[in-house]
Amino acid sequence: MDSAAFHRVTSEGRLPNGLPWTIPIIIAIKKDQANEIHEGEKTALLDWNGRTFATLDVSETYPLPKEELAQGAYGTTDQNHPNVADIFNNYGDTALAGKVALLRRLELPTVAHEMTPKETRELFRKRGWRNVVAYQCRNPPHTAHEYIQKVSLERSEVDGLLVQPVIGRLKKGDYRPTVIMDAYRRVVDGYYPKDRAVLSSLSITMRYGGPKAALFLAIVRKNFGATHYIVGRDQAGVGKYYDPYACHKIFDQFDVGIVPLRYMETFYCRACKAMATAKTCPHGEDEHLAVSQTHMRQLLQEGKELPTEILRPEVIAVLKQGDAVLT
């Protein structure tokens, strides 16, 4: 993409071909590197151990307009936002464009149980799944997550569920990848039909971008073979930057080729003795037990008991093993 096209994208929120612009994946390098890399050349992409895993055929280099990128992707230039801080503090000033050729798969931590898009699509084909609903998460499961996943599985057109936790680069205060995957393995193995659910991690940097991140994450799951995508309240949100239901509304603006399944805030109702939403529960808020992950982490850090109404005992056991949260 040339720099003029980039400016059209950031100002209009759309690619030149009319498709929605969500959150671009950018390779940005420092000044000392930029002097050594030229258009028309091939450059190596290194993993965290400094070993080549892919090459980039450089078709263009261009100055990275950081303020426009932050505002366009995340709706703010406030560096208290973790991804915005990344743009200003960790991205270089020169961006590279071109085709990437993968030479080998990345060596991921043993916690990861990761499949490529080709592998998930082949697995779905072998299982006879024509319609697959994907679930994005970055936290251990609670019963509200389980509720909307299983409601989605109840749909007549849905054949199977792909649960795909992001366990790449997360922010301070998020759960550790080992905790997320261990908790999900126990729940999926113990409470889901073996032939209707797949758990596979996704080792990418988490985008806390609210509505645009919801579109980005939906497109990623489409690439893995999903036809439907679960969108809960405040998906990919952080702090007070986004309206909690903007992630629902953006799918009315843009068709990214995947069916959004939108769910309101889910809670445990003491009177109903079940998970519910405002659509199904007639009782007041005094009967509702919220499933806030922030509250869960606070209870965990204070050494208090975790509510069994919204956490499976297997998940509580994982969370109590200690050192569950990134610091």
CATH number of this structure's domain 117-319, picked from the four choices 3.40.50.620, 3.30.565.10, 3.40.50.720, 3.40.50.1000:
3.40.50.620
Hey, what's the torsion of the CAs at 175, 316, 153, 185, to 10 degrees?
70
Q: Which pTM does this prediction carry?
A: 0.90
Rounded Cα distance, 233 and 253, in Å: 17
What are the tens digits of pLDDT across the range 146-180?
A: 999 999 999 999 999 999 999 999 998 899 999 99
Residue 5 pLDDT exceeds 50: no
Q: Give me the residue spans of the domains in the chain.
A: 3-102, 117-319
Residues assigned a catalytic role: 138-139
- Residue located via tokens 């798969």: 105
- Nearest C-alpha neighbor of 275 from the set 141, 88, 139: 141
**pLDDT of 9 over the 60 cut:** no
Spell out the residues 6+ positions from residue 257 whose beta carbon is closer than 8 angstroms to its own: 219, 222
Encode pLDDT of 138-155 as tens digits: 999 999 999 999 999 999
Per-residue pLDDT tens for 23-33? 999 999 998 89
pLDDT for the residue 19: 42
Per DSSP, the residues of 75-126 read: S---TTSHHHHHHHHTS-SEEEEEEEEE-S-----TT-----HHHHHHHHHH
Residue 6 clears pLDDT 60, i.e. is over it: no
CB 144 within 8 A of CB 291: yes
> pLDDT tens digits for 91-104?
999 999 999 999 99
Per-residue model confidence (pLDDT) at position 299: 85
Amino acid 173: pLDDT = 86
- Reported confidence tier of residue 325, pLDDT bands at 50, 70, 90: confident
Residue 232 vs residues 48, 288, 304: alpha-carbon distances, Å: 33, 18, 27
| Amino acid 20: pLDDT | 41
Amino acid at 285: E
Pair 312, 186: CB distance under 8 Å: yes
Question: In CATH, what class is 3-102?
Answer: alpha beta
What is the rounded average pLDDT for all residues in the chain? Answer: 90
